[in-house]
Amino acid sequence: MSDTQLPQGDPKGQDSGVHPAHSGPTGAPTPMADRPDTASTDDQSSAHQVAEAAAQSSTEPKPVENEYDGADRETQPAPSHDVPESFNVTVIVRRYDPEVDDEPRWVDYDVQMYPTERILDALHRIKWEQDPSLAFRRSCAHGICGSDAMRINGKNRLACKALVKDFDISKPIYVEAIKGLPLEKDLIVNMEPFFDSYREIQPFLQAASKPEKERHQTIAQRERFDDTTKCILCAACTTSCPVFWTDGQYFGPAAIVNAHRFIFDSRDEASQVRLDILNDKEGVWRCRTTFNCTDACPRGIQVTKAIAEVKQALISGVKL
């Protein structure tokens, strides 16, 4: 196998990595050509392409006798911090501070980026090196906490999972807050309406009996709702839904996904309650199957399918 180049490699590269991995359509904001999961598989080779050649690390490790030897070491090794070849990207962020701005405004930033970095790194570089007032949410930085859903080139993505190399970097990358929730500042929206819808579908197991140990569930029964347990409540789906944009009362895909998670859990006894809630005029029937939600979901959840299964359950009952 070939050696994999790490995020911080060595500068003497053979291939600059300035070429775009994919070229998206033109126009601004530009929708991106690929979804992250498809992109990540077929970009495996480009990760290697942009790899730089090796140069011997200057702090060559000294051989030591055994695991407890080596008191003469000066410092310990860490992945080397030499700089791989970088490129410049223009990131255009829709900024808004209600304390000073009447209207949101697009602001350009030129950012130096490395091939393995993500849009979140670009935002951090802007915040940490150019304009510390830029406001956005983030925490885990690897797609698990759901803090940093935003609209990137017109598509909802987690900034921490959107790799720069997957964009056409010869053009600017547009970043703005997710749509349909009240804009608070820069990339931050008010999440309360989103969580309100979630809480309304009674997202907790309801079962009368209290077993002594665990409730039993077969592997197949567990598999039935596995997909929808992955949800991290990032709101990427709900805020990519055209129905939600025009009708803020609509429960939205995320709430339905979480209802699905319980409706199809063999241990739960309140499926009908949730189905009744979703039978509301602002419930599942508003879904027009545009698939935006499925495309947006960073967890790869088949959101549209989950909604269809809930609709089906309303028509013909829950089949576990």
Minimum gap (Å) between residue 265 Cβ and another protein = 7
Minimum gap (Å) between residue 229 Cβ and ligand SF4 = 10
Q: In the complex with another protein, which residue's Cβ is closer, 201 or 243?
A: 201
Q: How far apart are CA 271 and CA 180, in angstroms?
A: 29
Region of residue 141 (phi > 0: left; psi between -120 and 50: alpha; otherwise: beta)? left
Task: Identify which range of 24-32, 95-103, 135-143, 219-227 contacts ligand FES by CB under 6 A.
Answer: 135-143
Structure tokens at 172: 């600017």
Q: In the complex with another protein, which residue's Cβ is closer, 184 or 247?
A: 184
Q: Does 158 bind ligand FES (CB under 6 A)?
A: yes
* Full DSSP string of 112-125: EE-TT-BHHHHHHH
Minimum gap (Å) between residue 173 Cβ and ligand FES = 17
Considering only 303, 307, 310, 313, the residue that binds ligand SF4 (CB under 6 A) is: 303
Q: Does 121 bind another protein (CB under 8 A)?
A: no
Q: Does 256 bind ligand SF4 (CB under 6 A)?
A: no
Contact 293, 239 (CB under 8 A): no
* Full DSSP string of 52-102: BPP---SSPPPP-SSTT--TT-SS---S--PPPP-EEEEEEEEE--TTT-S
Q: How many residues bind ligand SF4 (CB under 6 A)?
A: 15
Closest CA to 264 of 221, 296, 307, 232: 221
Q: Does 196 bind another protein (CB under 8 A)?
A: no
Residues that bind ligand SF4 (CB under 6 A): 231-237, 253-254, 257, 296-297, 299, 301, 303
